Amino acid sequence: MTFIRMSLSLAAVACCASVVLSDMAPQYHPVAHPSPYKIPAKPYSYEYAVNDEYLGNQFRVKQQSDGEVVNGSYQVKLPDGRIQDVSYTSDHENGFVADVTFQGEAKHPVPAPPAPYGGN
């Protein structure tokens, strides 16, 4: 009898504890933006380039903005040997407008011959 009473008591405590813990769960609310107006964009300019002769990676990017319009370009060496040039402009009126060109001809590498089989 004592074992059954103790089991029922533990079950009651566990039930009450789960109710109390669920009431203490954190409440999440959306955070209001601290200012009601849009913060104006600031002019900026940056450039970045990589030319890794060992691995063959070649990449260049340049971008600038006057706070209204973003102008930029990037160049990347593709795995097929071509160079891809992208020049773009982005603003709130016209969106993102890009001009994409390629230099060179696509050359797919010739697969290496299979290794000779050394077994008898």
Query: For each of the chain's 120 residues, which pLDDT tens digit applies?
Result: 454 454 445 555 555 545 555 567 777 777 666 666 777 888 999 999 998 888 878 899 999 999 899 999 999 988 888 999 999 999 989 999 999 999 999 888 777 778 787 665
Q: Where are the domains of the chain?
A: 44-103
For the chain, how many residues are written?
A: 120
Q: What are the angstrom distances between the C-alpha of 79 and each of 54, 74, 87, 89, 106?
A: 14, 16, 20, 26, 9
**Pairwise CA distance, residues 114 & 9, whole Å:** 75
User: Does the pTM exceed 0.75?
Assistant: no
